[in-house]
Amino acid sequence: MSETKGLTRQQMADRMALEFQDGWIVNLGVGIPTMCSNTDTGDRDFTYHSENGVIGYGGVASPEEEDLLLVNAGGQNVTLKPGASVVHHADSFAIIRGGHIDVTVMGAYQVSMTGDFANWKLKGQKGGGIGGAMDLAACAKRVFIILEHVTRAGGPRLVTACDLPVTARGVVKLVSTNYGLFEPTGDGFLLREIAPGLTVDEIRATTGGKLTVADGLKTVQLSR
């Protein structure tokens, strides 16, 4: 990915992870969302669920810890936390579809001001990569998205309406970008926190729909 303004990828993940509440069951998508598990959340502790039925996985396994038959949804060899368990795929998605996941964090190409998002298919592509994204998007209690604020061409990813095929409609509650923290409001986006070094005008210029700004707008606090 090209050099970008504002937050680093890890910082975007860190900001998102600070929203998680103690005891939450969390599903992290591949890529930047996975970095949420690196965040120091103090006393708060979570249960990480993976689509392949691993409940309670921990960090990426060191070479000595590695078990070739223990992977997360990204195919990484991981460890297990005390209290972990394993179920089969139908039971794993029963957990997802049944609304037992407190939050899913995913990457996306676009998020719309009505909370739609697109992350499974490029323009003009035949087929695509859905994986568990549509189940998670439709069924998790909260859908959080992490993405770069602008495309490589400089266009917005927070848009009035997705022009790529959507993954689910009206579900996105919170978006963390390198420019700040946003909520879709129906007719635009609420800027809740701004990244250091960015201005509201810069953000407004690169965001679809109406940009509203939170009262007493805070800067994203960085621990690293």
By annotation, the residues acting in catalysis are 51
Decide whether 30 or 190 has the Cβ nearer to other proteins.
30
Out of 13, 27, 35, 49, the only residue in the binding site for other proteins (CB under 8 A) is: 49
The reply on whether position 75 binds other proteins by CB under 8 A is yes
Out of 12, 54, 106, 172, the only residue in the binding site for other proteins (CB under 8 A) is: 54
Q: Quick one: tokens of 165?
A: 């095929």
Backbone angles phi, psi at 91, to 5 degrees: -70, -35
* Site mask for other proteins (CB under 8 A), range 177-216, x = bound: ----------------------------------------
Residues 106 and 203: their CA atoms lie apart, in Å, by 22
What is the smallest separation between the CB atom of 181 and other proteins, expressed in angstroms?
24
DSSP character string of 142-175: -EEEE--SB-TTS-BSEESS-SSPPSBSS-EEEE
The residue among 8, 6, 71 whose CA lies nearest residue 35 is: 8
The reply on whether position 160 binds other proteins by CB under 8 A is no
Q: What angle do CA 128, 94, 89 make, to 5 degrees?
A: 60
What is the smallest separation between the CB atom of 116 and other proteins, expressed in angstroms?
8
Q: Using CA atoms of 146, 82, 95, 23 in order, give the dihedral in degrees to the nearest 10.
A: -60
Count of CB atoms situated within 10 Å of the CB of 177: 27
The reply on whether position 60 binds other proteins by CB under 8 A is no
Residues 76 and 97: their CA atoms lie apart, in Å, by 24
The reply on whether position 173 binds other proteins by CB under 8 A is no
Decide whether 93 or 200 has the Cβ nearer to other proteins.
93
Residue 115 CA: distances (Å) to CA of 11, 102, 171, 199: 23, 17, 5, 24
Decide whether 25 or 145 has the Cβ nearer to other proteins.
25
Out of 96, 106, 158, 175, the only residue in the binding site for other proteins (CB under 8 A) is: 96
What is the smallest separation between the CB atom of 86 and other proteins, expressed in angstroms?
5
> Rule CB under 8 A: which residues touch other proteins?
22-25, 30-31, 43-47, 49-56, 66-71, 74-75, 77, 80-90, 92-100, 116, 121-122, 125-135, 138-139, 165-170
